[in-house]
Each structure stands twice: as structure tokens, then as C-alpha cells.
Amino acid sequence: MQKITVYEKPTCTTCRKVSKALTEAGIDFEKVNYYIEPFSKKKLNELLKKMNMKPAELLRKNDDAYKKLKGKIEKLSEDEILSLMIENPDLVQRPIVEVGNKAILARPPEKLKELFE
């Protein structure tokens, strides 16, 4: 089986549910806390392509960081939003699960099934 990587924030409830589901299924995976090991612009862009998403679609719109920057974000290009997400990881929806040439936003955790179909 291909390597599975979960990009997460360990204190996030959804991230913990995804980790638990993978562990209970006996699936070996690597966790990356993107607050400790930040995304490079290249890596986040690569994940977005694998998920078939634009940066604006990956924004955590319920987060305080987004609410404070909303007026600014609405005027930015997708590339500028991507840069802002790199600077401020609170803006990135999580967890992102990557397997080979596929990736998903595992929100809700049941979306994990899409990777193994």
C-alpha cells in the first residue's frame, strides 16, 4: 500500500477522529503537524491540485483568523490566498489526508472512504 500522510493539528477533534479511524482499521500512516512542520507553498499547492480545490475553498471560514482577515481575503487572488495560508496555518481546513496522487479534506472523517474506493 502507498504511504499515507495526514496533515493535522493534534488538538483538532476531527484530526483525532481521522487518526483513530485509520489506527482502528490497521492502516499505517504518518502524521504531520503543520504547525510544527509548516507547509511550503509548493506542497500546499500540490495538495490542492490533488484535491481538485482552489485555495479559497480550503479556507477555515469559521475560524477567528479568517473572520479578522475576511475583508482583506476577499480582495486577494488565489495565489495570494495560498501565501496567506502559508503565513497563517489557522486558515487551513484540516485534516488533509494524502495517498499517492490523491488527497482529500477528511471533513467529516467519513470522507476517508473516498481514498480507499
Which stretches does DSSP call E strand in 30-95? 30-33
pLDDT band at 115 (very low <50, low <70, confident <90, very high): confident
12 given a catalytic annotation = yes
**How many angstroms separate the CA atoms of 53 and 44, rounded?**
11
Cis peptide before 95 (omega within 30 of 0): yes
Task: Sketch out the chain's domains with CATH numbers.
Answer: 4-116 (3.40.30.10)
The alpha carbon of residue 7 and the mean position of all alpha carbons in its chain are separated, in whole angstroms, by 6
Among 1, 3, 11, 12, the active-site one is 12
What is the model's pTM? 0.94
pLDDT at residue 116, as a whole number: 73
Which residues, in sequence order, are CB contacts of 84 under 8 Å at separation 6+? 69, 73, 76, 91
